[in-house]
Chains A and B, each alone.
Chain A
């Protein structure tokens, strides 16, 4: 049973079909890349999986359960973490508050959240992750005062906070400097070894080819190829989609 599966996922924006009949699956423990030219529907696809957008048609299964149409926050709480293409932080809150917010809804009842303080375990974990990302000295700084690269790291750290089983990353390394990019990739590999599953939208081919075992290529919302990195590199349809077809 795949960890995540979509069946005939379709999303129309008025007359534009952004995602077309997409069948997709991730097995537990995989690192899968979703690539494709700009506007090929990658981010829309993520947004349909997590119900930020309502899909026009198709179904989403997580751990075998049909989660189509559940509210976004509920899907996230099932154990799916995600980042957005444009970084989404709480800019007027501190880095540390951002970290704690990303985990507070994953346990306990609504009423208990009025009366309980943050778990010491969560606080410790937030410290550890910030430490690892080299931004722990910024923990009391407002997230809005961070540089783009630092915000990107914070965003990544927040997704890891609740230990999601499946992580959807939308361009995790864009705008992150080389050294940190290597660290992020190493970290993703490490977490993957511990059993976490990743789906990554990425433009950087070094990252894609080095990190991922399987690649899914989208063009105009359709899956045009799927396979191991070396297969994709030589696939004619993929080359045509990226570079155009010679007349």
Chain B
């Protein structure tokens, strides 16, 4: 009961939030929702199944271009959004094949190469992608008379999908898939020795992680109304990596905390002007030095401390 109450309050606050935010801040929070969805995907691939992906920005980009290009053809947003996820996921499954043979830093290098390739395809195949200037004039969806065209309304759509993504990730993690992902990630030999197919689950870990990223991309394009290859470089993949490492790999809360820190952190620190990147970087280093498991352990400690003080709870 108390848990439901807590989450009810959190969601109520998030629903009320836009009324108190300026245009830019509203955009930053909206972007945080989108990045959270992508980071959740990477957390499944890397955090749980331990398959290194440094090309999640590619999957993100495939979702975004799918949305932008098919919207331009007059397709419905509601039809394209699942397609963004599916195209991202299919590409993820293909990228997963090298993972059957290579792991860790070798896989990291391979996936970096994948990201670089997709970036150049986006830049150079301008007949399809619009080249370096990308695609502009991307419209936002509506349901009947309810339009999500305004930033204000689109915020709520993103909030809903972000919550759905979190719930879906909880479902997957607690399913036999989630357990098999962790098994493959922890000890592949033992997994195979107990009949767990590393072929199936490695490709699945990539496909599922990329599906989330693709859906994130599909939501990202209408948020900005304009996409260009710069939003899908290897450095963006690194940001996704930082999110889950800072937040806590292999934890449901990890990507959420991480996305908040990585997207909002620089904005908050902007007060420090020129020094903000230095402050930000120092913060990342400190977290890595003193909180290897990520910021999620701060939550864990709070959870332990609060019931003790309240006394009777649970």
Contacts and interface: CB of A to CB of B under 8 A. Distances in A.
Contact of B195 (A100, A106, A110, A116): A106
Interface residues of B, number: 23
Interface stretch (A19-27, A55-63, A84-92): A84-92
A105 B180 CA distance: 9
Contacts, number: 85
Nearest to A87: B190
Nearest to A91: B186
A8 interface: no
Interface in A71-102: 71-74, 76-77, 82-84, 88-93, 97, 100-102
B187 A91 contact: yes
A74 B199 CA distance: 11
Given A71-B199, A77-B195, A162-B195, A115 B189 contact: no
Interface string A153-167: 000001000100000
A50 interface: yes
A105 B179 contact: no
Given A73-B198, A110-B200, A113-B175, A93 B193 contact: no
Interface string B172-200: 10011101101100110111111111111
B167 to A, nearest CB: 14
Contacts of B183: 90, 93, 101
A52 B197 contact: no
A50 B182 contact: no
A114 interface: yes
B175 A158 contact: no
Interface residues of A, number: 33
A50 B193 contact: yes
A115 B175 CA distance: 7
Nearest to A79: B195
A158 B187 contact: no
A136 interface: no
B194 A158 contact: yes
A162 B199 CA distance: 21
A150 interface: no
Contacts of B177: 113-114
A144 to B, nearest CB: 10
Nearest to B250: A92
Interface in B142-180: 172, 175-177, 179-180
A192 interface: no
B190 A89 contact: yes
11 contacts: A73-B196, A73-B197, A76-B193, A89-B190, A90-B183, A90-B186, A91-B186, A93-B186, A101-B194, A105-B197, A110-B204
Interface of A: 50, 52, 71-74, 76-77, 82-84, 88-93, 97, 100-106, 110, 113-116, 118, 158, 162
Which 9 residue pairs of A and B lie closest in terms of their CB atoms, listed nearest first? A88-B190, A113-B176, A76-B195, A105-B195, A77-B195, A72-B192, A102-B194, A73-B197, A90-B186
Given A76-B194, A101-B194, A118-B176, 19 more contacts: A50-B193, A52-B189, A52-B192, A72-B192, A72-B193, A73-B197, A76-B193, A76-B195, A88-B189, A91-B186, A97-B179, A100-B179, A102-B194, A103-B194, A104-B176, A104-B196, A105-B196, A113-B176, A113-B180
